[in-house]
Amino acid sequence: MKIKMPIKIDTIILEDNVLMAPMSGVTDVPFRKMVRKFGAALVSSEMIASRPTLDEYKRSKNSKNCSYKKESPLSAQIAGCEPDIMAEVAKINEQQGASLVDINFGCPVKKVVNNFAGSALMKDLPLATKIMESVVASVRVPVTVKMRLGWDEGSINAPDLARIAQECGVKMITVHGRTRSQLYNGKADWKAVRAVKQAVSIPVVVNGDIYDSSSAQEAMEDSGADGVMIGRATYGRPWAVKSISCGLQGLGFQTPSLLNLRDAVLEHYELLLSHYGVHIGNITARKHIGWYCATLPDVDEFRGKINALSETQKVSTEIKSYFDGLLQSGIAAIPA
């Protein structure tokens, strides 16, 4: 494999074409720090719901909790259905240091689509157009769009929406190769993304079910896309973006040893505590610890112990003693 392609998103040149996907409840500040530590050309925020965010911003007049200045380059993803509100929120995110603003036309979640946002906008191209026009006009940073193939099998319109996006001044399109009706079922159709690539001249990124460098290569070959976006493959593997990128370039990547993994878990835990405080930090950590250790022995018992603890010192001690036990039993590598 030898696929190394920088992606030029208007004024921003990313040396690497393997991008981290936005994921609500996952790609928060601590997770982004972990992904960045292992290496990623671009990180992405969680989805920002425009109206509640704007209301909160006006109430608190306080942007210090949401500064991206140390995270550059970062893509801030906004969702909503009101062009003016989305434009304002895009501007706030630009002021907070976002390098890109991404518009969400892909979220399949009922709460979002029932509010005519996310993938529901693929059923309303005039409103999607107004949103893109309004957001593009409001910021100087490049605006990108993330979409699905369409609402359902009978209404595949990603190429049409992509063409309109380009006309509106959008600078990159990411396509998750599923329809909204599919949710996360079935398999992402990378070949269907080719029609989007053929419809526009701006970069197109293919997304969905890419877990390693061979699936990344296959997705790029099937779609003709300029890059790949990686979501769930980063669960418990914040190095996945870097390792896929190295694989695509024909470079070696040293997967962290079990000792490195122990240190990563402890570091991520500390980041969660300092970002969220003890209560939310502990709750959030349980999910990540489960992912980090999913392929390790006796994980259910370990998770049970962690989930029962609330004192941070005890959690750290439990993590250390679990990993020390594995290391002493001769396990040094992370099982696939």
Ligand X SMILES: Cc1cc2nc3c(=O)[nH]c(=O)nc-3n(C[C@H](O)[C@H](O)[C@H](O)COP(=O)(O)O)c2cc1C
Q: Report the interface residues with ligand X, using CB under 6 A.
A: 21-26, 46-47, 77, 104, 106-107, 146, 176, 207-210, 230-233
Minimum distance from CB of 50 to ligand X (Å)? 13
Nearest CB to ligand X, comparing residues 22 and 281 = 22
Q: Which is nearer to ligand X, 22 or 150 (CB)?
A: 22
Pairing of strands 100-105, 143-148: parallel
| Tokens linked to 265 | 């878990």
The span from the CA of 259 to the CA of 296, in Å, is 13
Closest to ligand X by CB, 168 or 210: 210
In the chain, the amino acid numbered 26 is V
Rounded to a whole number of angstroms, the minimum distance from the CB of residue 332 to ligand X is 29
CB of 275 vs ligand X, minimal distance in Å: 18
CB closer to ligand X out of 232 and 305: 232
Minimum CB separation of residue 198 from ligand X in Å reads 21
Shortest gap between Cβ of 31 and ligand X (angstroms)? 11
81, 107, 168, 246: which one is catalytic?
A: 107
User: What is the distance between the alpha carbons of residues 235 and 292, in angstroms, rounded to a whole number?
Assistant: 7
* In contact, 91 and 61? CB cutoff 8 Å: no
Structure tokens at 251: 């470079």
CB-based contact 86:78 (threshold 8 Å): yes
Residue nearer to ligand X on the CB measure, 68 or 322:
68
Q: Cβ of residue 189: shortest distance to ligand X, in angstroms?
A: 12
Do the beta carbons of residue 181 and residue 152 sit within 8 Å?
Answer: yes
Least CB distance from residue 180 to ligand X, whole Å? 12
Beta carbons within 8 Å of 97's beta carbon, 6+ residues apart: 67, 68, 69, 71, 72, 74
- Contact by Cβ (8 Å): 170, 210: no
Look up residue 184 and give its amino acid.
Y
Among this protein's residues, is 66 annotated catalytic? no
Q: Answer whether 233's CB lies under 8 Å from 201's CB.
A: no
Burial 191-227 (b: 16+ CB within 10 A, else e): ebbbbbbebbebbbbbbbbbeebebbbbbbebbbbbb
Question: Is beta strand 18-20 parallel, antiparallel or unpaired with respect to 43-49?
Answer: unpaired
DSSP 150: B
Nearest residue to ligand X on Cβ basis: 231
Choice between 25 and 277, CB closer to ligand X: 25
Q: 28 or 152, CB closer to ligand X? A: 28
Of 196, 176, 183, 191, nearest to 77 (Cα)?
A: 176
Q: Give alpha helix (H) positions in 226-277.
A: 240-248, 258-276
Indicate which residues carry an active-site annotation: 107
